[in-house]
Amino acid sequence: MRTRPTLSWTPAGEPLPRTTSLDDVVRLTGAGGVVVLSGAGLSTESGIPDYRGATGSLRRHTPMTYQEFVAAEHARRRYWARSHLGWRTIARARPNEGHRGVAALRAAGLVAGVITQNVDGLHQAAGTPDVVELHGSLDRVVCLSCGARSAREELDRRLREANPDFAATAGRINPDGDVELPETAVDGFRVVACLRCGGVLKPDVVFFGENVEPSRVDRCYRLVDTASALLVLGSSLTVMSGLRFVRRAAEAGTPVAIVNQGPTRGDKYAAVRVDLPLGRALAALVDRLGARPSRYR
């Protein structure tokens, strides 16, 4: 399946009613068997901005596309110089109340599975097991030639050794780990190759316009098909990679509940639309359901 390079979405017609009450979400989640689909909005309280919220990075920044990355050496140099700085901020981020809430609901047996569009690893850091990383993870690197995967920490070490005089300062960070840097700051930045075959290295994440692994998509469909309800947390559902699971659930008659600040592209498929900050909403949900908080790092 291919992630549509849709960078924005404008609601058409009158907005559908939204509420600040969690009553229906409590009822659906309390029955158990819920599958969570999370987006960038869940991580904003950890200091990682989203793409499309009130301060979303798409207002200033166009994410790297797969086609641009594979086609141009200068694009790869620009990406790695910027991501070299940005990844450190992502790596330092810690789970917030929202991540901990999902982990608590999973530990209590109320959430049957978690699909995330995020690439920051914060669900796992909060203690949630078996997270399906729909768009991959920034803590891994993959070779586009031989397919070898390696740790991002190892690449970080190699890039520091290859660029001992690189002294740029990170500007705004974006959800994909990219930061804003002037072109003059990336001139001369040295990109390193795969140690196994000399091929091009790429973060093990799905760029806009890139294929999502079919096996990963199938696993998500299986989770959605067996869910008692689909709970969307912090996603505008602008791109089809997440929206298709909402459509799938709605077509099967599975209730969809969306907790997000602002309207989403999936609102018309949802039985419940809650407009609340994610940390506060998840903490309240855990409290009302009596779920024990999970341990997290």
The residue annotated as part of the active site, out of 61, 84, 99, 135, is 135
- Rounded to whole angstroms, the Cα distance separating 277 from 235 reads 12
In the three-class reduction of DSSP (H, G, I as helix; E, B as strand; rest coil), residue 245 is classed as: helix
Reply yes or no on whether 84 is catalytic: no
Token output for 59: 């207002």
Q: What residues are labeled active site?
A: 135
